[in-house]
Structure formats: C-alpha cells, structure tokens
Amino acid sequence: MMEIAERHEYEAAPAVNARFWEYWNGTWVKLTILAGQSLSLFKGGPTEEGYSRSGMEFFLSTDGELTVDAWSDGRDCDGRCSSSSIFTTTVLRMQRLGADRDLPDPENSYRPVTPPKWDEGRLDLRDFAAEAAGY
C-alpha cells in the first residue's frame, strides 16, 4: 500500500503548536503541527476485491483549535462506500489531558499513549450500491 504525508503552509501565525499522538497505519505516531499549518496522511491501494484508501487532514488554527477531517473510500464485491468525519479539539485541552507527552503512558498498557479527546462535528456516510437500489 502507498502512504503519503504532506505539510502545507498557510498564512503566518504565532508560535503555537499542537503535539499529539495519533494511531495511524497500525502504530502510534507523534504529530506536530504549527498554527496555520496542515498535515495530511494518506494510505491506500488495490485489494483482492477492489481498492481501499483513507486519509486524515489536520489543521491548527491560530487560536489553538485543531480540526481533523478523516475520510475513507473503497470498493469491494458489494460496491463502493465512502465516509467522512470532522472532529475538533484545542491545544489547551490536549495539554490538560497529557496528549502532548513525549513518552508513552506506563500506567496504561492497553493504550500506551494518551490521544486527544475529539468532539465530533459531522459524519457523512455514502453507500453507492444502496443508493442505486433506491435506499
């Protein structure tokens, strides 16, 4: 499977950054994003029955709000399905939770790090085969 990570610069911003752990491609990774910057993660490729791809785009505003747009798209023997979700949190909230820690949490072996607590903003699901069948 192919994997891509991109950084995009936007307008100049104060020296605020978000450091947090995210579960990606089977492991916990530490991400750092500066205010006014976005970070895109992508993975996907062919499968036995079609294709599968997914991605996440994080954006940190200059006022410390972090937004992520997580999406997936794929096709298998049942047809094509896609989804998109928007989540938000703040740098201050992540710091209070300890989500910006550099080391894994030794007291929690199930979840070795503390991920951000996200507020769900929007969820879109689309089943193309069900739509074609009139559902």
Q: How does pLDDT run across 71-101, given as a tens digit for each residue?
A: 999 999 999 999 999 999 999 999 888 887 7
The closest alpha carbon to 70, from 127, 124, 117, belongs to 124
Give me the amino acid identity at 118.
Answer: W
Residue 67: half-sphere exposure toward Cβ, Cα within 13 Å: 13
Question: How many angstroms separate the CA atoms of 26 and 44, rounded?
Answer: 13
Q: What is the pLDDT of residue 98?
A: 83
Residue 41: half-sphere exposure toward Cβ, Cα within 13 Å: 18
Q: Where are the alpha helices (DSSP H) in 24-124?
A: 91-97
4 pLDDT band, cuts 50/70/90, is: low
Give me the amino acid identity at 45.
Answer: G
pTM: 0.77
Average pLDDT of the chain, as a whole number: 85
Q: What is the pLDDT of residue 28?
A: 82
The closest alpha carbon to 43, from 28, 25, 57, belongs to 25
